Structure 1
């Protein structure tokens, strides 16, 4: 099965769950930018509950191609995001193991959102030892058939249906398990074992 999807910022757990089920990944690079999606935001768990971190982008329009969307560095969002991530996960068992590598990617200050998201995706795939081939669309096709599972816009901040059952793991904050978060939540807490928590369990997690 080929997983067709947009590229996300610090992709969600659901994103990697679907990736593990696929034989290869096809990333949409000819779509137009869509606001209020995981393309430029991610969700982490803080002491105050789930929090979205959003990358500001330079003003575009509905016809702005996703690969041409520039990041707005006039706002010091890198410092804000990193401070929030460190505050949320600084005490997690594997934070120091991964944080320097992750911070290096942020420090590169990629011009385009697509470039940053791709660098992050490759980093997380390496951390999780996911060796799936990645290719990119050659044009925009509204609908696919056959062996392509079209997940464009199905993993979304306002939709919870895309996440599969996930094995419960201890989180830094809260007594009730929060499943629909960025991959960094399980990665910082479980390290190399994180990939096993992404595999769907036969029963829903207990709260």
Structure 2
């Protein structure tokens, strides 16, 4: 019950649907970094639009391994992201309960993108009460025994094209139209302890 994945920034709900029944996640940090992906961007829902939050990185060309990508702290992205999350979810039912756990990670000011993303992933798993251990993948691990979803969940194609996530609507803060597959924090802030149950029900062919 193990899975190999990329490491994303506050991943979309689809990602957690894919990993929820596993015991171990192996993160591939030796892959070549790819721009314009979930590795450094996430989506939240504001009053009248979906907002993409993107972490600026230094370099990030195709020949650099993901494990070596540094966050560009010369840009004031952290305040923008924290304010964006507060603006989007400040009135959500579970915001006050969950936000401090996330804010704590942001304020640590990590140099490496992977360290920041990994800590946020660990917090998300904890808030979901999913008992999954997170490890680094290396070539000595026998792939045949592990589910490999690298390259499957990507920002350039819709979740509906994949056989993972069947969006179950839940109460979002703004508007009548449900917007699926936001960052997991959309689900956590809006639904709290029910989030785990919604993940289970959102699995295709569950």
Q: Distance in 2 between matches of 1:202 and 1:84?
A: 29
Q: Distance in 2 between matches of 1:200 and 1:177?
A: 16
Shift of 1:202: 7.8
8 Å contact from structure 1 (residues 31, 140) kept in 2: no
**Equivalent residue for 1:46?**
46
Cα deviation, 1:99-133, whole Å, max 9, x if unaligned, reads 12211110001000000000000001110111012
Unaligned stretches of 5+ residues in structure 2: none
Q: TM-score, normalised by structure 2?
A: 0.91
Shift of 1:146: 3.0
Unaligned stretches of 5+ residues in structure 1: none
Shift of 1:193: 1.7
**Equivalent residue for 2:151?**
153
Q: Secondary structure at the match of 1:88?
A: helix
Q: Secondary structure at the match of 2:185?
A: helix
RMSD of equivalent CA atoms: 2.0
Cα deviation, 1:172-196, whole Å, max 9, x if unaligned, reads 1121111111000000011122111
Cα deviation, 1:63-118, whole Å, max 9, x if unaligned, reads 11111100001110001111111111011001011112211110001000000000
**Equivalent residue for 1:193?**
194
Q: TM-score, normalised by structure 1?
A: 0.90
Runs of 4+ in 1 over 6 A off after TM superposition: none
Q: Secondary structure at the match of 2:43?
A: strand
Q: Distance in 1 between matches of 2:166 and 2:111?
A: 36
**Equivalent residue for 1:84?**
84
Q: Distance in 1 between matches of 2:54 and 2:134?
A: 25
Q: Count the aligned residue pairs.
A: 202
**Equivalent residue for 2:183?**
182
8 Å contact from structure 1 (residues 110, 116) kept in 2: yes
Q: Distance in 2 between matches of 1:102 and 1:23?
A: 23
- More displaced, 35-44 or 22-31? 22-31
